[in-house]
Structure 1
């Protein structure tokens, strides 16, 4: 019987395809708007199909999988191949009304793998399976909405926070109170290899119209969207540390009935489309993923499409290429005939929307190529510093952190080769270099790094990378929030005294950052003394990136999703904030800061626009009327991925970097080295060209 059903569905699909044009449209239907026909209709589930997810097989894209729920009390999580066939030995049966499903690649227990999370309504649980094995790793399920009268979980979306790879599940239910309708859980592995969960927040405004089921998270941009059915789509930060304020409500007009399945088609970093199901009309409405230049939370309708799938409750989209049937990306929509419909993105896009060439391009054609990419660190690269050789700049070195437990400091030459390293540190985060610390009657160059798991600064002599800190220097003593992250070194021009400016993972506004005076301990090691606490903080995310302009005497730091703040570097000049800029120029996180210095006091401040793989560039000197008025000049896109940290120097390093050197961390465990002239382009100055 199953074979008859399967062949019948394939025959129907062929009839539809024969009646449509080459773009997959069926002409002359209804009001003249063509209905888009799927390339594949899956075999039918037993009872009631609901929500799909896509597992992308990177090595063999044509062997990717579709997961789909059958939401009956004796339902299942079905697994299909791209021809729509049910893969019986992977399908999970016996689930108690599975509703929605989502998939993410995660990093847990020192391993990277994919998980699928499924809500099980009648059991009030979240089920978690390892994909593609479909092995349960949840110890028979995670309890949801415990202690609540209204439980009945429905929607689920996974979110992997880029900064620390923490995995979250955001879950909705059949009904709930406005402001606490959705619950978010952090997911971790226990000692037995099972997923365990801890609730981290309750949030989510609700109109009271119907229910909230469809949830989708854009990991890259850090936003969460959900359908308030019959009302609109609501948008929040996905990171619980960034607050529960609603960022937008859109799609409030033009829907015939319920707002349902939400999915994303991702183009160049930060751009693409949000697709929302208009269930009763058999349509999907398409909105820009990136919002507008002036407002990233303004999502206005681009087009509407009508699909053959009936009253679709759930959908999933990817711009990855899957071979012959789906070379431009894949759109999957649930249909009330117990099936899931698989569309090629080109048919959805039509003439109005863009198509990603062969999967998601991580960069546009304007991305600047590095001259050198370093060898990889072992775990997770984070922040670089440049040590300039006093006699031969071509023998200068790059120091970079490997920020996970067991990582350390790596030293690279200008060809990107590892020439020295210290490992087995307690999660080193950021690093900076200074010259001429007086130690035992000698002048010593130093590299100073934050070590998060020990709440210490670590100090090493350069270029030999020998520890000279007596085992570490404690920071933020007496504070409940320590966890040091950012570090910048200030050398006071008037007397050559050296100070460490240190940020942390979290802290109070006004005293978030502490400054320490580094001194000779008298026994061949360094000691230090705290000289001040300062630093306003928006309270939204965290402060990590810090840079000091020694010559002009200023400190800059990134209040990550708020702006760049500026203070005097000399503690004797007070704690007044001098400037706040860059508040509207970034896609999301404001990260690594560095300063390109010209000898006349001019130059450029570069700040990483992390999720967009770009750097925003501002004047170093401010304006004639106001030295703290830092004008935006240009943005540059680099090949480095999601950069957390950077360093730049106008020194002529010869060889590949005759015009200065810009070093950028990349999330592929490397650091990218750029010639400054490539960054400067025609708009910015180059030191060598001034001579």
Structure 2
């Protein structure tokens, strides 16, 4: 992730110019919004408690586990990329924290064979060693909301950044996105006493990339290349490694940086893929069946504050209780007023209503 504006600049006002880490002058948010395609507004219905690391770019990426039998007991896993992993209830309250160090992105899968039983496997991109990526694996206990560390797998030479999980006929794979745009597909076997994994395939984008998501129905991997756009790959272990561009980060529909990626599957092949348009604090929606542009929205201040400078996002359809009956969208908030960063919770129904018939 490349922060386009400092949080101080955002607090001071949209016309203020801010410098990035290299000291170069950035385009003001107001100018980016003026050049971008209009976005509709929605408000959050909930939020998580702030992460424990104050005064820092710390919260980053969420993952969702839905309890189909009792939606109000669903859980959210979120990263504090300076410290470790949080588990939150659907009410946003922290239920657990595990000191895992510098874990950047996170994803999870239910129904995975883990040490002789079936459970929820959580995978995080581990960059405690920035020269050599690791995949940190954990088990999530839905009854206690506790995480248990299972071990780490080799993710290849380079700095770990994004991660997402997908299944195909070969089994469960983690797609670890390195900071330079390299993507390794790691086939995971967690059924034994300790998890094992091996890199079965490597893909490449040209520049810094992070957010990703896999559609297990169609076996498509979606990856955001921050200053270039949204791409898709064949996610199968035996598939082509050639990417297809879905959308350019041209400053209109998608404003650099393109960050988090999430999927809303509908039916056999339809649905939506969402991307965080960090450069103008918006989120872009594309249709899965034909890669067409659908619309844009922002999470603005309401009873609960809005979200800005978003890195990771996640979306899951289904019943999450009275506040989120049709699905839950979560966005990392990089500018959570005077508090440490957190995650905002938005009803998918509100987004659909705001975007209108599509």
Q: Give the TM-score of the pair, scaled to structure 1.
A: 0.42
- Alignment counterpart, residue 335 of structure 1, candidates 330, 333, 347: 333
Which is greater in Rg? 1
- Alignment counterpart, residue 115 of structure 1, candidates 111, 116, 121: 121
What is the match of residue 174 of structure 2? 169
SS of match in other structure, 1:349: helix
Conserved 8 A contact 1:106-1:167: no
Task: Give 1:34 deviation, angstroms.
Answer: 4.9
What is the match of residue 298 of structure 2? 306
CA-to-partner distance for each residue in 1:422-455, whole Å, 9 max, x for gaps?
A: xxxxxxxxxxxxxxxxxxxxxxxxxxxxxxxxxx
Conserved 8 A contact 1:138-1:196: no
Conserved 8 A contact 2:179-2:210: yes
What is the match of residue 40 of structure 1? 46
What is the match of residue 165 of structure 2? 158
Partner Cα separation in structure 1 for residue 155 and residue 328 of structure 2 = 31
Partner Cα separation in structure 2 for residue 83 and residue 134 of structure 1 = 16
Partner Cα separation in structure 2 for residue 36 and residue 265 of structure 1 = 18
Task: Give 1:190 deviation, angstroms.
Answer: 5.7
Conserved 8 A contact 2:297-2:355: no
Partner Cα separation in structure 2 for residue 106 and residue 286 of structure 1 = 29
SS of match in other structure, 1:46: coil
Conserved 8 A contact 1:42-1:341: yes
- Alignment counterpart, residue 221 of structure 2, candidates 219, 224, 235: 224
Conserved 8 A contact 2:87-2:146: no
Conserved 8 A contact 1:320-1:328: yes
Task: Give 1:256 deviation, angstroms.
Answer: 2.8
Provide runs of 4+ in structure 1 moved above 6 Å.
none
- 5 Å-filtered alignment, 1:162-241, equals 163=169, 166-175=171-180, 181-189=182-190, 191-192=192-193, 194-206=194-206, 208=207, 211-241=208-238
- 5 Å-filtered alignment, 1:412-431, equals none
Partner Cα separation in structure 1 for residue 328 and residue 357 of structure 2 = 14
- Alignment counterpart, residue 349 of structure 1, candidates 337, 349, 352: 352
What is the match of residue 380 of structure 1? none
What is the match of residue 248 of structure 1? 245
Conserved 8 A contact 1:258-1:278: yes
The number of residues matched between the two structures is 299
What is the match of residue 284 of structure 1? 283
Partner Cα separation in structure 2 for residue 320 and residue 246 of structure 1 = 31
Partner Cα separation in structure 2 for residue 191 and residue 226 of structure 1 = 30
Distance of aligned partners of 1:33 and 1:301 in 2 relative to their CA distance in 1, 3 Å threshold = closer
Distance of aligned partners of 1:222 and 1:175 in 2 relative to their CA distance in 1, 3 Å threshold = same
What is the match of residue 318 of structure 1? 316
What is the match of residue 10 of structure 2? none
Conserved 8 A contact 2:155-2:186: no
Task: Give 1:134 deviation, angstroms.
Answer: 3.9
- 5 Å-filtered alignment, 1:459-498, equals none
Partner Cα separation in structure 1 for residue 196 and residue 235 of structure 2 = 20
1:71 and 2:81 equivalent? yes
Partner Cα separation in structure 2 for residue 104 and residue 264 of structure 1 = 14
What is the match of residue 267 of structure 1? 266
Partner Cα separation in structure 2 for residue 212 and residue 284 of structure 1 = 17
Greater share of strand: 2
CA-to-partner distance for each residue in 1:271-329, whole Å, 9 max, x for gaps?
A: 111111100211001100111xxxxxxx1211110112111101000111111010011
SS of match in other structure, 1:171: strand
SS of match in other structure, 1:242: coil
Conserved 8 A contact 1:79-1:91: yes
SS of match in other structure, 2:210: strand
Task: Give 1:65 deviation, angstroms.
Answer: 0.6
Conserved 8 A contact 2:260-2:313: yes
- 5 Å-filtered alignment, 1:89-108, equals 90-93=96-99, 95-108=100-113
Considering Cα pairs closer than 8 Å and 6+ residues apart, tell me whether 1 or 2 has the greater RCO. Answer: 2
Q: Give the TM-score of the pair, scaled to structure 2.
A: 0.78
Partner Cα separation in structure 2 for residue 97 and residue 38 of structure 1 = 28
1:126 and 2:129 equivalent? no
Conserved 8 A contact 2:228-2:256: no
CA-to-partner distance for each residue in 1:306-364, whole Å, 9 max, x for gaps?
A: 11211110100011111101001100000012110000011111254579xxxxxxxxx
Conserved 8 A contact 2:249-2:258: no
- 5 Å-filtered alignment, 1:292-691, equals 299-307=291-299, 308-336=306-334, 337=336, 338-350=341-353, 352=355
CA-to-partner distance for each residue in 1:57-112, whole Å, 9 max, x for gaps?
A: 1221111011110011xx1201111111111xx3212x221100001124426643
What is the match of residue 557 of structure 1? none
